[in-house]
Amino acid sequence: MTRSRSTLLVSVLVLVILAGLGVTLAAAQTPKAGGHLNIMLREDLSPGFAVHESSTISTSFPSMPCFSNLVIFDQGKRPETPDNIVGELAEKWSWQDNFRNLVFFLRKNVKWHDGQPFTSKDVKFTFDMLREAPEATAKLRINPRKDWYANVEAVEAADAHTVVFRLKRPQPGLLNMLASGYTPIYAAHVNPATYRTSCVGTGPFKVKEWRKGEFVDYVKNPDYFVKGRPYLDSLRYVIIKERGTRVAALQAGQLDVSFPGETTKTAAEQLKKAVPQLVITPVAQAVSDNIIMNTKKAPFDNPKVRQAVSYAIDRRALIQAVHQGGAVPGASMQPKPYGVWGLLEKDLASLPGYGKPEDMKARARKLLGEAGITAQNPLRVEMATRAIAIYVDMASFVINELKQVGIEATLKQVETAQWHAMATRGDYQIGANLTGLGVDEPDANYYENYACGSPRNYSQYCSEEVMKMVEQQSQELNPQKRLQMLAALQRKVEEDAARPILDWKLDYFTFWPHVKGLVPHDNIYNFGRMADVWRDK
Amino acid sequence: MKTYIAQRLGIGLLTLLGMSIVIFGMLRLAPGDIVDILFSTGGYVNPVERVAIEKELGLDRPVWVQYVEWMRQIMTGDLGKSYRYDLPAWEIIRPLIPVTLELAALSLIVSVALGVPFGVISAVRQDTSLDYALRVFSLAGLSMPSFWLGMVIILTLVAWLGWIPPVTYVSPSENFWLHAVQFALPALAVGYRSSALIMRITRSSLLEVMREDYIRTARAKGQSGGIVIWRHALQNAILPVVTVIGIEFAFLIGGLVVTETVFNLPGLARFLVEAILWRDYPIVQNLVMFIAIVVILSNLFVDMLYGFLDPRVRYGN
């Protein structure tokens, strides 16, 4: 009797404790409303909130809370696969006419931050402006992603809450581009130039104040179209130019969240040692280190010389030496598991720069010999790069690699003000470059960086065969078939040394444990809407 | 006196005119412009769009027309529009000025508070262990760049205390004590370096004065050491120190770039560097002109101060 009573007592006690634990766990996981977060920014917004006039994360990331897209990569899921695209201003969408028409059914009762109603007119206004359609009612000062919408024939506002994208040919990848952080909807009643100084969006937060060079303050949008969101009352993006101060501010708890792409592997290790409770998530940045070679000028108009350069650079050694292991090898699309379309590790083995280093360098010397370049007659070139540490470190490594095969390269540091102008003009021989992909979508990458005549195709590489492959994969509706076509395309551009990819950088995204609901993606450009983020403190 | 001030102000105006030509010319000689930077944020360049932006910003006009326009704007109190922010330049510059002036003034107070007494002690105790210790202290100050010292302060604080001063500007009305803490550390970092210079000047100047006959006479008359040093010697030794203080203040207005960056203070020196990188001509030109005005006025102020400190100094013809 006594034993059974005490057993009962223990059982009840255990149940009570378990129930209590359950309640505690449930409470810990239940989002709490209210609170404020300080988020790191490394430079001021440029040009303001005008995302469509910019290709830098310093604009897109701090602007994310203000805007909404038609669709977006699920902010709560890390991989950016087509399956993870969710509706934002669009409640649902439908591909019609064999992927030639994309119809969006928009949410009703959505308001702009100035109180005006959101309608299909705003969507038409935005995309007519982006693709520079004749009927566009506004023009952007600069339009870096016009090529993304080259296949859009018309955007029709069928009614106030239905929009139809009519395409020239099927293009399933369009939806990926619409889900990028670079594709917010602008208000038709606001001059696009206004976004350079202020922000009228439909997003979860409203801009309260932008103090130039200091911070951007946001407050909760009470009219946000998702009921119960955002959880936080306010956000502050704090601009800190000095890297050491940024890290110290994060460490001291003055910042709750780091900046995407900010934390290298070494920095993450130091941070974790100093503040063990920090949450550090290794993710891909969707930014590659690559070599641009001017294919219109000697000596890099000779494919053998370009291939020799590509063979000479030991990718794995570069990842260790320059990034201390904080990058992964890959071809022109971000490799798996970070990206959808990239080559597998085993497929990379046959590409230039991935074999045994001595074999690769021997191959490079042979190719150079065939091009008439020998130890007695070395090739002397100027390696241009931006005067920023991450560029210079990579360029210095490459220079050393090239030296080993008989290419004498001298480093030329180019100020940011001149870099893109110089690269677009083709006013260089060879350069060490970084390229960020706004979205893991082959169409965005190949039309931007490899297509004949594209201003961002700095190598001015132009191949009819490659363009045909790009067009074919773009309209392929079967994802498996498209994947195979893309594998062939990636091999082709690497073998041609169109723009040899050296690695894909990783970010060790860091925040304090009281920050909940913030899921970094494998692409620094597409997360940060902050609607589902809450503070557990 | 009035004639002297008028003359000095006239010379100051001529200097400003010369400065304006130099600033304007040098900015245009630097490679690249705001249009290149704007395209840089887009990652490409389009010649047609480039021409349109140049026209929008007035950069397509002849350089001399742009200069005349800038002069006209200054005369009318309109500083133009920031190319980067698309806002009136004055609206951007105005909040930066008090931050830098306050930091410069506090740094100067620290440097005088440390430099003058240490210089006097060092001179009075010449060649003693205390003199050597203070000379090492001052040499260390001269050798350590203030930005390095600033960074060491921040890293030490975060490593030991897990705390650093606020990284966003706190105004005195918002929280006076936090404001004081925010400015105290950078003022110490900058002031220490400047104090080293002031200390060395004070020491050498005082040593020279203390060898003068009137000091020997004062001592012979039985005056106490303190009175001899503070009333007779220092008063006569202070002129070169005042000159250095004046120069330091003028230097600090434009020279706080790295300290403002390390402590993340929104001052004009830090902003000036950003504006130069962005080729934001209206901001750069007007900020440099502001710094030039401060330099001219502080020099004038120092010269005026001579008259009060040394009755032998007379102004005018």
Tens of pLDDT, residues B68-87: 999 999 999 899 999 999 99
Contacts with A415 from chain B: Cβ below 8 Å: 31-32
CB pairs under 8 A between A and B: 141
- pLDDT at B235 exceeding the cut of 90: no
Q: How far apart are alpha carbons B197 and B114 in whole angstroms?
A: 10
As a whole number, mean pLDDT of residues A174-191 equals 98
- pLDDT at B257 exceeding the cut of 90: no
Chain segment A373-427, per-residue pLDDT in tens: 987 888 999 999 999 889 999 999 999 999 999 999 999 999 887 898 899 999 9
Contacts with A54 from chain B: Cβ below 8 Å: 41-42
Task: Answer yes or no: do B168 and A214 touch at CB < 8 A.
Answer: yes
Closest-CA residue of B relative to A60 is B41
The pLDDT value given to residue A484: 96
| Shortest alpha-carbon distance between residue B100 and chain A (Å) | 14
The pLDDT value given to residue A318: 97
List the single range of A281-290, A424-433, B129-138, B295-304 with lowest mean pLDDT. B295-304
Q: How far apart are alpha carbons A439 and A324 in whole angstroms?
A: 26
In sequence order, the β-bridge partners of residue A281 are A509
The pLDDT value given to residue A130: 97
Choose among A534, A37, A391: nearest CA to A236: A37
Q: How far apart are alpha carbons B34 and B53 in whole angstroms?
A: 9
Q: How far apart are alpha carbons A480 and A38 in whole angstroms?
A: 43
What's the Rg (C-alpha) of chain B? 24
- Give the CA count within 13 Å in the CB-facing half-sphere of B251: 13
The full length of chain B comes to 317
The pLDDT value given to residue B90: 93
Residue A21 binned pLDDT confidence (cut-offs 50, 70, 90) = very low
Say if residue A337 is preceded by a cis peptide, omega within 30 of 0.
Answer: yes
Query: b/e map of A18-37 (b: 16 or more CB within 10 Å)?
Result: eeeeeeeeeeeeeeeeebeb
As a whole number, mean pLDDT of residues A507-525 equals 97
Q: How far apart are alpha carbons A143 and A54 in whole angstroms?
A: 8
Q: What is the ipTM score, two decimals?
A: 0.90
Nearest to A248 among B86, B164, B168 (CB): B164
Q: How far apart are alpha carbons B36 and A382 in whole angstroms?
A: 22
- Give the CA count within 13 Å in the CB-facing half-sphere of B312: 3
Contacts with B32 from chain A: Cβ below 8 Å: 415, 417-418, 421
Q: How far apart are alpha carbons A83 and A230 in whole angstroms?
A: 24
Task: Answer yes or no: do B162 and A252 touch at CB < 8 A.
Answer: yes
- Tell me the H-state helices in A202-329: 243-251, 265-274, 303-312, 315-323
As a whole number, mean pLDDT of residues A148-156 equals 96
As a whole number, mean pLDDT of residues A162-166 equals 98
Mutant choice from B27, B38, B40, B258 vs A, greatest count of A C-beta within 10 A: B40
Q: How far apart are alpha carbons B176 and B230 in whole angstroms?
A: 35
For Cα atoms B82, A129, A454, give the angle at the middle one, nearest 5 degrees: 85
- pLDDT at B146 exceeding the cut of 90: no
Is the torsion defined by CA of A378, A379, A380, A383 positive or negative? negative
Q: State the pTM of this model.
A: 0.91
Q: How far apart are alpha carbons A19 and B190 in whole angstroms?
A: 59
Mutant choice from A208, A245, A456 vs B, greatest count of B C-beta within 10 A: A245
| Shortest alpha-carbon distance between residue A238 and chain B (Å) | 7
- Output the six-digit token pair for B196: 């080293």
In sequence order, the β-bridge partners of residue A511 are A257, A279
Asked if A420 is an interface residue toward chain B (Cβ–Cβ < 8 A), one would say yes
Nearest to B42 among A53, A236, A248 (CB): A53
The per-residue DSSP string of B141-201 comes to HHHS-HHHHHHHHHHHHHHHTS----SS---TTT-HHHHHHHHHHHHHHHHHHHHHHHHHH
**Mean pLDDT value across chain B:** 91
Asked if A199 is an interface residue toward chain B (Cβ–Cβ < 8 A), one would say no
- Cβ neighbourhood burial of B228 (10 Å; 0-12, 13-18, 19+): buried
Nearest to A214 among B36, B42, B169 (CB): B169
What's the Rg (C-alpha) of chain A? 25
SS (H, E, C) A50-96: CHHHCCCHHHHHHHHHHCCCCEEECCCCCCCCHHHEEECCEEEEEEE
Q: How far apart are alpha carbons A143 and A130 in whole angstroms?
A: 7
Task: Answer yes or no: do A141 and B263 touch at CB < 8 A.
Answer: no
The pLDDT value given to residue A18: 47
- Output the six-digit token pair for A519: 């899921």
Q: How far apart are alpha carbons B70 and B84 in whole angstroms?
A: 17
Q: How far apart are alpha carbons A211 and A220 in whole angstroms?
A: 18
Task: Answer yes or no: do A421 and B52 touch at CB < 8 A.
Answer: no
Task: Answer yes or no: do A274 and B53 touch at CB < 8 A.
Answer: no
Q: How far apart are alpha carbons A148 and A131 in whole angstroms?
A: 8
The pLDDT value given to residue B315: 63
Asked if A211 is an interface residue toward chain B (Cβ–Cβ < 8 A), one would say yes
Task: Answer yes or no: do A46 and B262 touch at CB < 8 A.
Answer: no
Which residues numbered 138-157 in A keep a CB inside 8 Å of some CB on B?
Answer: 141-144
| Shortest alpha-carbon distance between residue A33 and chain B (Å) | 25
Q: How far apart are alpha carbons A318 and B283 in whole angstroms?
A: 41
Are the CB atoms for A434 and A449 separated by under 8 Å? no
Nearest to B167 among A197, A238, A419 (CB): A238
Task: Answer yes or no: do B92 and A212 touch at CB < 8 A.
Answer: yes
Chain segment A490-515, per-residue pLDDT in tens: 999 999 999 999 999 999 999 999 99
Alpha carbon of B221 to those of A423, B217, B228: distances in Å? 80, 6, 10
